[in-house]
């Protein structure tokens, strides 16, 4: 049974529909993936789940309770935590202080429940214990992602929402991060993962949802979603002719869902993983006006007549002014360029 459930959520911004009747479920003890092209609505859905954005229609349920209208802090107290696509760390605090702050908030909201975890233990789990005294704003992006995860875990969430957590991590860090996610899921945590690293997604996720232009176009097991023609067309790309998956690092030609995290998907025609949609065509730029000529005022005309061409790039067009003294006077006859 889903711990976090989304029922027919729609989000509109004026006349634009960012999400259209999206439904999904996140179960405890496994990792659920949410993928799709840039601009598909993934972060918008995260903002709806965490209370940063109110849905135009639909419901968000946590453990059967409708939390659609609850503010973010009340959702956090009910066991929801998230990371952000853009790092949101307390840069002037140290690595340890970032986690201690979250743990302190957990103690104040627990009200006699399960105590907050040890910050040192969390830092050791994400591999940042040796950097505990460093300021957070001095960390590279990959380590900042792990600190953000440790801070989210400090509130002991039941549901963890991760928005592109592997961004900025190298291959070795991504493999360690994948193992940590699997361990957290095995402990009973419900995880919803938004990520563009398809090797990571296919290796750790038990179930996938695919968004495109705010519409849920596919869901299911990773292998089934990967083979879906609509997903390939919208996001993954087309499989090359004669490709059997042997180069993914699995001797039996297994699907990427069972391949190692270190194997990078190169079976798509772009050669760079998920295919990016071409930019949308906007309105054509307005035609550039014809260059205007400058004139000399009566006082400057004798000294400046024809000394400079009025179409020179160093003299911008300012009709009604003398190009030498900038006086707002009627131009002399004839003007400097005739």
Q: Please report the pLDDT score of residue 235 as a whole number.
A: 87
Average confidence (pLDDT) over 114-123: 83
User: Are residues 162 and 70 located together in one domain of the fold?
Assistant: yes
Strands (E), the chain: 4-13, 16-26, 31-35, 57-62, 65-66, 80-82, 159-163, 190-194, 207-212, 215-220
User: How many independent structural domains does the chain possess?
Assistant: 2
The pair of three-digit structure tokens given for residue 117, joined into one six-digit string: 């975890």
Residue 99 above 70 pLDDT?
A: yes
What's the token pair of residue 69? 């209208």
What pLDDT does 327 receive?
53
Model confidence at 308, pLDDT cuts 50, 70, 90, reads very low
Residues pairing with 35 in the sheet: 210
Rounded CA-CA distance 272/237 in Å is: 10
Q: With respect to residue 302, please indicate whether it lies within any of the assigned structural domains.
A: yes
CATH number assigned to the domain comprising residue 73: 3.40.50.300
61 and 170 in one domain? yes
Q: How far apart are CA 180 and CA 209, in angstroms?
A: 22
User: Are 71 and 173 in a shared domain?
Assistant: yes
Both 69 and 162 in one domain: the answer is yes
Task: Kindly state whether residues 175 and 244 are assigned to the same domain.
Answer: yes
Do 188 and 62 share a domain, yes or no? yes
Please, what sign has the CA dihedral across residues 173, 177, 178, 180?
Answer: positive
Domain boundary among 213, 248, 283: 248
Tens of pLDDT, residues 270-288: 333 444 444 455 556 666 6
- pLDDT at residue 259 in the model: 37
The stretch 44-70 carries a mean pLDDT of 93
248, 281, 302 - which closes a domain: 248
Residues 54 and 194 occupy one common structural domain: yes
In contact, 9 and 59? CB cutoff 8 Å: yes
Q: Which domain covers residue 335, as residue numbers?
A: 293-338
Q: Do both 299 and 225 map to the same domain? A: no
Angle at 102 between CA 9 and CA 164, to 5 degrees: 45
Residues 228, 302, single domain; the answer is no
Q: Do 173 and 72 share a structural domain?
A: yes
The reported pTM is: 0.69
Domain-ending residue, one of 225, 248, 271: 248
Residue 55 placed within a domain: yes
Higher pLDDT, 117 or 290: 117
Average pLDDT over residues 324-332: 51
Residue 284, domain member (yes or no): no
Residue with the bigger pLDDT between 327 and 200: it is 200
DSSP 87-142: ----TTSBHHHHHHHHHHHHHHHHTTSSPPPPHHHHHHHHT-GGGTTSBGGGS-HH
Of 251, 256, 248, the closest CA to residue 223 belongs to 256
Taking only the tens place, the pLDDT of each residue in 227-261 is 999 999 888 875 444 444 433 333 333 333 333 33
pLDDT of residue 92: 87
- 297 has pLDDT over 90: no
What is the predicted pLDDT for the residue at 324?
55
Residue 226 shares a structural domain with residue 297: no
Task: Categorise residue 179: left if φ over 0, alpha if ψ from -120 to 50, beta otherwise.
Answer: alpha
pLDDT: which is higher, 333 or 74 = 74
> Does position 118 have pLDDT exceeding 50, yes or no?
yes
Question: Residue 176: is its pLDDT beyond 80?
Answer: yes
User: H or E segment at 75?
Assistant: helix 72-77
What is the b/e burial string over 204-218, where b = at least 16 CB atoms within 10 angstroms of the residue's CB? bbebbbbbbbbbbbb
- What pLDDT, on the 0 to 100 scale, is given for residue 130? 92
* Domain contains 41: yes
């Amino acid at each position: 049974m889903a711990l976090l459930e989304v029922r027919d959520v729609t989000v509109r911004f004026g006349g634009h529909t960012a999400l259209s009747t999206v439904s999904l479920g996140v179960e405890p003890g496994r990792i659920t993936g949410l993928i799709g092209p840039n601009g598909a609505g993934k972060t918008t859905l995260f903002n709806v789940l965490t209370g940063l954005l109110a849905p135009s229609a639909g419901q968000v349920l946590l453990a059967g309770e409708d939390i659609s209208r609850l503010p973010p802090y009340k959702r956090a107290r009910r066991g929801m935590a998230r990371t952000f696509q853009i790092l949101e760390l307390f840069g002037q605090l140290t690595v340890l202080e970032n986690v201690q702050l979250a743990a302190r908030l957990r103690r104040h909201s627990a009200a006699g429940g399960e105590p907050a975890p040890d910050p040192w233990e969390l830092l050791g789990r994400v591999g940042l214990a040796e950097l505990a005294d460093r300021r957070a704003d001095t960390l590279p992006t990959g380590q900042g992602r792990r600190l953000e995860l440790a801070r989210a875990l400090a509130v002991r969430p039941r549901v963890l929402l991760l928005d592109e957590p592997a961004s900025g991590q190298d291959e070795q860090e991504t493999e360690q991060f994948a193992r940590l996610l699997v361990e957290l899921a095995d402990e009973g945590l419900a995880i919803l993962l938004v990520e563009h690293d398809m090797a990571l997604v296919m290796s750790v996720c038990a179930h996938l949802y695919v968004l495109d232009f705010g519409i849920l176009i596919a869901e299911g097991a990773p292998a089934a979603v990967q083979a879906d023609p609509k997903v390939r067309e919208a996001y993954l790309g087309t499989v090359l002719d004669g490709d059997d998956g042997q180069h993914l690092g699995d001797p039996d030609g297994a699907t990427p869902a069972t391949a190692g995290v270190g194997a990078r998907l190169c079976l798509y025609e772009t050669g760079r993983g998920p295919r990016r949609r071409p930019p949308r065509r906007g309105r054509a730029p307005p035609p550039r006006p014809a260059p205007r000529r400058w004139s000399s005022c009566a006082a400057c005309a004798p000294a400046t007549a024809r000394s400079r061409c009025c179409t020179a790039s160093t003299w911008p067009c300012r009709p009604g002014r003398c190009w030498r003294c900038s006086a707002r006077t009627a131009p002399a006859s004839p003007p400097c360029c005739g």
